[in-house]
Structure 1
Amino acid sequence: MKPFLLSLLVFILAHVVACAGYALQRGDAQAQSASTQQKISESQQSPPAEKPDKKMKQEPVPDELLVTFRDGTPEDRIDAIHQAVKVKVLRKLHFGQTRVCHIKVPESQPLEAIRQAYSAFPEVEAVDPNYKVRTQ
């Protein structure tokens, strides 16, 4: 029973990330960012936490981004892209074939320039702010 539930969770998270990419293509980047960040946060909690309060404040973390790569992108290609953009990878998250990387942007580089640099690679599905969620 447990392997089935784990597989189901991975499937749901992969679907959410894929839907989030579709939302980004529609120009709905804020909704996609919040959805992706919430699912990543939920997947890292053990045991499952209570539902968050409805009054939540989201603040982007300065100089941090979440980069989502297209399904099936090889790990060595992801590493090469990070080296080309010259950022520090804080954490790599895996959801089935989908890879999400939490990166730190050097203070000397404008955040928007890094977003554009990642967006130039066809393997990159989305580049979103890393939101810090706080209850009020």
Structure 2
Amino acid sequence: IRQVMDRMYTAAPDGYCGDEDNGQTSAWYVFSAMGFYPVCPGSGEYVLGTPYFDEMKLHLENGKTVSIKANNNSEENCYVKALTLNGKPYSHNYITRTDLMNGAQFVYDLAPTPNKQRGTADTDAPYSFSKTQKK
């Protein structure tokens, strides 16, 4: 996700892919900069990426706050080593709208290489991942 953001969103004439979609690509970029983005509207799930910012807060209309912190955030450290949600280890590769609307504290620990042990269970996959194989 970071590679797409870095390579395809620049100030050059060809540096803003998907400009013809009435803002959907821009919305994807903003979500991705927060560390998650909607893949399947209506599913209530957001796929996790890595935040572009070291720390940010979303103040929700219901008075709750979503806090997102990215430890060791850098160009090289673009992979999730570990993630906690509300102080507890979190292995899923998605978050839910309910998680967000209840207020949440996400802490990402980022690293230069992927943690291939994290988020590998079937239950860690987002709704948008198909469970069937094409023939």
TM-score (norm 2): 0.25
Higher normalized helix content (fraction of residues): 1
TM-score (norm 1): 0.25
Higher relative CO (Cα under 8 Å, sequence separation at least 6) belongs to 1
